[in-house]
Structure 1
Amino acid sequence: MTTALDTTDRRARQVRQALWIGFALQLAVALVPLIDLVTFDSITEHVRAAYPDWSADDVALDRNAITWSLVGIGALGCVGWLIALALAKRPTASRITVTALFALGLVTSLTLLSMGGEGYDLVVPLAHGLFTLLPLLAGLTAVVAVWQRRR
């Protein structure tokens, strides 16, 4: 027979697992723009396609702004996951925190996927914007787990 304590422990374990997975995915999201910068450099091509008349220096400035913005947003996301992990043992605090951070992550990702500019259809390349959605899968799992009621 499963006791209420077993159910609570299992739920807390599910929440922590989802949060750790989310943290790992968020860390990957933060590192991908840097990896792209030294390998494929797709952000440079994205900027060049939007502004073909720009000099190499101007393209590099815009590329750096986009790259470091994505890295900064990813790093802030990592901080959010660590805060949620720190509060995961306190049911009321973790419910509020996990839900609020999920909502913030969702709004941030949707903003990155929809923000345009003068020459851009999307400022952030679509592949990078879509990649920011991955941690939200773990976030949604954590939200569901943290709000499950005891049986």
Structure 2
Amino acid sequence: MNEVIGKTMSILYRYRQMIINHKLRPYGLGSGQHIFLINIARHEGINQKDLTHLVKIDKATTAKALKKLEDSGYIYRQCDEGDRRYNQLFLTTKGHEMMPIIVSTLGEITDSLIEGLTEEEQNYFSKCLDTMLDNALHVVDQLRNEK
């Protein structure tokens, strides 16, 4: 059963990413960049280090995604007056205009993936995913502490 759950989660993740990439490609957004836009929109002025921690993605991937978003005109950086070592991240007008499209697109994709599930099944599934995420975070914290 464990093998089936892991395999299914992996396939579901890859297919969901394929759908997201297909739907956001016309806007010049690539794999995973929407995650950064959403979180910058929620936390305007966040710095790169805190954003990396927030989205649970490594520093190198964050740096590449932010560079692409900046080059595409979705975000801009501004020197943090409190700590000049850091840049604060903000959405441009283009970035703000993109947010409703991203939110709508992700909602449509989720709706298509949960189609056929009752509300009770959706709630149960959500609780299961939360438990699995908590378990994964605990294991990752243990791994980090081993280093």
After TM superposition, the score normalised by the length of structure 1 is 0.30
Higher helix share: 1
Higher strand share: 2
Q: Which one has the largest radius of gyration?
A: 1
After TM superposition, the score normalised by the length of structure 2 is 0.30
